[in-house]
Structure 1
C-alpha cells in the first residue's frame, strides 16, 4: 500500500490560508497539517521531524509548503529547509506566500503571451512599471520580469524609501537591477505610466490605480494587467475576465484579475500535483510558478 501524501504547511501568520489548504487537498494530498506563527529558526527542526518520522520510501510523499505574507521570508525559510535535507530522506519543498508566486507567475505569463501575440514583442527589453510593488505579488512580478530581461520600475505608494530598499534587496539576492520610484501621488502614478510600455497593477484590493484619463494620456502603453478583483478594480475599463480587450484609444490592451486568476489556479494546483507524483524531491518557487504558467496560457 502506497504511503499517504502528507503536506506540512508552514505559515508566519496567525492562520493558514484556507485557499492553500483546499488547493493542496484537491491536487492530491491526503493529509494537510497547518503550522502557524512559525519563525525562521523553527523551520529546521520542523522539517527534520517531518523527514525522519517516515521511511526513505515515503520521502517523496512528504511535502513542506511555505506560506505567510512575506516573499523574502518564505524564500529564507525554504533556504533553511534545503540545508536541513538529508539523503535518502529528502522531501519536496514549495514556497508560495499568500499565493503571490503563482499569481505573479500567472500575471507575467499572461502579459508575455499577449505581448507576443498582439504586439509582436518580447518581455526582454520591455519597460514595465509595477504599482503596489512593495506587496508580495508586486515584488514577485518584478523579480520574474527582471530575470526575463525587462526594464522594471517598482513603485511604492508610501514614498521612495521602502521601495528603494526593496530594489536593493532584489539586486543583492537575484543579481538583477530594478528601479525604484515614488507613487505616493496620482501625479507620480501618471507620470510613470507615460514612461512605460506595460503596467502591472498589484495594489491593495479595492484601489483604483489607473483611471481612463490615465490610460488615454499614456500613448505608448501596450498592456495593463490588474490582479485586483474587488471593486473598484485597479484599471478602469478593464473587466475581471478581460484578456486582450482594448482599453484606450491608443490600442492598449487590458488583462483582468480573473483571467490572471485562472492561470494562477492552474499553476498552484499543478505544482502541488508535481510534488505528489515526482520521482525526485522538488524545490519549487516563483521561477517554477512562472515556467508552468507559461505552459498554461
Structure 2
C-alpha cells in the first residue's frame, strides 16, 4: 500500500512562505503542514513526533522543511533535527531559509558555467567580491564560493562590523577563509571592484548597489551576477534576463536574476522531488542544492 507523503514545514517566523508551500505541493507532496514561531528548542520534539507517529518504512514518505530568514538558525535546526532521529525511525530533512540555499546555489552554478565558458577557468583561486553578504543569500553564496576555493571578499555596505561578523561566522563554522571589507562609500566600492574578477550582488530587492560607472572601472572583471529582480537592478545596466551575455562597456559577461531564478526554481523543486522519490530518508542543505544546481545550470 502506498503511503501519503507528508511534509512538515517549520519556521521561526510568524508565517510560512507561500512560495515554499506552493513549491512543495507542486513537487508532489500529498500534504504540507506549516508550523510557525518554531524555536530551536522545539525542533527535537517536533521531529520525534513525526518519526514515531509512523512505522520506520514510512520515514521516507515523511519530510521536514526548515525555513525562516536566518542561515545559522536554519543550520542549527538542521543539526537538531538530525540529532532527534532514532534509527530506524528517521525522516528526510531539507533546509532552505528564505530560499537562500537554492538561490545561492543557482547563482554560483551559473557563475561557474560562465567562468568556464568565457575564461576557461574554475572558481578556485578566482577573486570573488560579494555585495549584500550580510543577508541570507549573500552568506550562503560566500560559503559555497569559499568551499570551491575562491578568494572571497564580503563587502559591508554599512562598514566593517557586520561584514566582519559574517566572515567570522563563515570561517568558524565551515573552516574556510572569507575576508571582510568596508564597502560603505562609492570610493571604497570602486576600489573593491577594481580588484574583483567576479562580482555578485545579493543585496536587498530594489536597491542599486553598483553603478554603471563603477562597473566600467572593474578592469579585471570576468563575470557579474545579480539576484535582484525588483527595479532598480542591483548592478546598473545588468538586464534581468541576461544569461552570461556581454555587459555594456566592459569585457565581462553578466548574469541576471531571471536566469538565476530559473535554476533556483528547478533546484528547489528538484530537491523536493528527490525527497519524495528517495529509497531512504535524506538530509539536504546548501551543498546538496549546489550539486543539483550545477547539473541544471547552462
TM interval, short-chain normalised: over 0.9
Q: Deviations over 1:92-142 (max 9, x none)?
A: 000000000000000000000000011111100000000000000000000
SS of 2:12 mapped into structure 1: coil
Give the structure 2 partner of residue 20 of structure 1.
20
Cα deviation 1:239-295 (Å, max 9, x = unaligned): 111011211433111000010000000000000001111011111000000000000
2-structure distance, mates of 1:242, 1:154: 24
- For structure 1, the 5+ residue unaligned runs are none
Unaligned runs of 5+ residues in structure 2 are none
Q: Report the RMSD for the aligned CA atoms in angstroms.
A: 0.8
Q: Secondary structure at the match of 1:102?
A: helix
**Cα deviation digits, residues 202-231 of structure 1 (max 9, x gap):** 000011111110111111111110000000
Deviation at residue 164 of structure 1 after TM alignment: 0.6
CA contact (8 A) 1:200 1:224 kept: yes
User: Secondary structure of the residue that 1:249 maps to in structure 2?
Assistant: coil
Match of 1:45 in 2: 45
Map 1:1-297 to 2 at 5 A. Answer: 1-297=1-297
CA contact (8 A) 1:25 1:31 kept: yes
SS at match of 1:220: coil
After the TM superposition, which of the residue ranges 143-152 and 114-123 deviates more from structure 2? 114-123
Please state how far the C-alpha of 1:148 moved relative to its aligned partner: 0.2
- State the TM-score, normalizing by the size of structure 1: 0.99
Give structure 1 regions of 4+ aligned residues with deviation exceeding 4 angstroms.
none
Name the SS of the counterpart of 1:142 in structure 2.
Answer: helix
Aligned residues of 1:224 and 1:255 also touching (Cα < 8 A): yes
Aligned residue pairs: how many? 297
CA distance in 1: counterparts of 2:206 and 2:250, whole angstroms: 26
Secondary structure, counterpart of 2:272 in structure 1: helix
State the SS of the aligned residue for 2:224: strand
TM-score (norm 2): 0.98
**Partners in 2 of 1:129 and 1:189 — Cα distance?**
10
Displacement of 1:183: 1.4
